[in-house]
Amino acid sequence: MYAISVAEESNRLLAYDEIAEAYKPDLNSMEPQNLQQLEGFRQLATVSFDEMVETGSVNTTDEVPFEVEVLAKKAYVGYQNANKLDRRNVVRRVLSETENIYTSVLFSLQFLLDLAHLAKLERGRTYHNVDDPIPLRGGLDTNLIVQALQASKPFSDEVIRKGVSWGNDMEILHRTYREMLRPDASYRTYCEKSDHSLTEEQELVQFVFRSLIFKNQLFVDFMEARDLYWEDHAELVRSICIKTLKSVTEEGKITLAELTDDWEEDKYFVEELVSRTLENDEKFEEYLKEFLQNWDNERLAKVDMLVIKAALAEMIHFPGIPIKVTINEFIETAKRYSTLQSGKFVNGLLDKLSEKLLKEKVIRKSGKGLIDNR
């Protein structure tokens, strides 16, 4: 939503530039030019364009020459088309970046398998490092959880389908194995035995994931380079990986955890929420006026306004979601992406707005426990 608002501001500036370009003096002209008139036409076209942006139309008067009005309308059409394209692209980008979270899960799990492969290579060598020996009765490659993941056809199919490979970044793997896994005391203790309980197998693989992979700066740098939002996504990626690893049974069966319970439904929700927020922007502004009369616009964080409008769209157009759930979710969003005081501000405003709109029957909840806002 913030990206869309910034794009719209940029498109407005581009429209101003288009108008200004049309009324620049022609330096190659042999005829004298009325610079004052050109500047006047530019200002008239700009005012007409702004009026169209604010109201959707322009009041035709004799004061605005026909050619000036035509130029303003042309700039407005270009502005509208650019906004529509940007909105579609941003929504597609959101969905693509969300799907990319699951690709990050695959990269993370494959990293674990590739570390296990390096352990297997060391255990299989004829000659070993006598100056720095490591117990070889067990290793990451003998871990039941790792073996279950290796044997999972759904996992290998997804890795192939998404083109997941660490082949071009083997240095990260080798350094992680050599500098972090191999010298680790917990891992060496594990390697002293060939038989382990399922609990011990889980403890090792989760320790490796939490402490040696996700706290590994080399791994983090790689993931940040391929995912611009890694800082936001990292915890979710790790939890999906851990959930997958925890699913392994005594028989060695593993279940790949999904990104969401129903991604198709979630995609619809994202598209619909963005669409409803944008198309009802003016209406939401009217709802907010009453509660922001004494507020200086410069004190209102732009992100806070977008968060509140998105929350209103969810309250009004998604009757199956409890109001308190919506408020709590958007309070957390404001805390994460806006100012230190945004949580309290968004909470107070949404409480007042929801109470008013419920009384006016603008918000209508359906389903057990929703009608009374529980």
Give per-residue pLDDT as tens, 298-348: 667 889 999 999 999 999 999 999 999 999 999 999 998 888 889 999 999
pLDDT of residue 296: 64
Asked if the structure places residue 96 within a domain, the reply is no
**52 and 85 share one domain:** yes
Work out the average pLDDT over 134-147.
93
**What is the rounded distance in angstroms from the CA atom of residue 333 to the CA atom of residue 1?**
12
pLDDT of residue 308: 95
Over residues 106-125, the pLDDT tens digits come to 999 999 999 999 999 998 88
**222 and 179 share one domain:** yes
**85 and 170 share one domain:** no
Which of 211, 147, 202 is CA-nearest to residue 184? 211
Q: Among 66-75, 260-269, 303-312, name the one with the lowest average pLDDT.
A: 260-269
In the predicted model, is pLDDT for residue 239 greater than 90?
yes
Q: Among 176-190, 192-206, 292-306, name the one with the lowest average pLDDT.
A: 292-306
Name the pTM for this structure.
0.76
Beta-carbon count within 10 A of 139 CB: 24
Helix axes 2-22, 66-124, angle to 10 degrees: 140
Asked if the structure places residue 365 within a domain, the reply is no
**184 and 80 share one domain:** no
Asked if the structure places residue 273 within a domain, the reply is yes
**217 and 131 share one domain:** yes
Query: Of 67, 91, 115, which residue is a domain's last?
Result: 91
Work out the average pLDDT over 52-63.
75
**108 and 202 share one domain:** yes
**71 and 180 share one domain:** no
Work out the average pLDDT over 132-160.
93
pLDDT of residue 369: 47
CATH number of the domain to which 317 belongs? 1.10.940.10
**86 and 113 share one domain:** no
pLDDT > 70: what percent of the chain? Answer: 95
Q: Which two tokens stand for residue 309?
A: 């409008």
Asked if the structure places residue 145 within a domain, the reply is yes
Q: Among 173-177, 182-186, 207-211, 266-270, name the one with the lowest average pLDDT.
A: 266-270
In the predicted model, is pLDDT for residue 64 greater than 90?
no
pLDDT of residue 315: 96
In the chain, the number of structural domains is 3
Asked if the structure places residue 239 within a domain, the reply is yes
Q: What contacts 24+ positions apart, CB below 8 Å, involve 150-156?
A: 150/113, 150/116, 151/252, 151/254, 152/254, 152/256, 154/256, 155/106, 155/109, 155/254, 155/256
In the predicted model, is pLDDT for residue 130 greater than 80?
no
Query: Of 25, 56, 91, which residue is a domain's last?
Result: 91
Residues of the domain holding 46: 2-91
Query: Of 91, 122, 138, which residue is a domain's last?
Result: 91
In the predicted model, is pLDDT for residue 374 greater than 80?
no
Asked if the structure places residue 254 within a domain, the reply is no
**52 and 152 share one domain:** no
**229 and 300 share one domain:** no
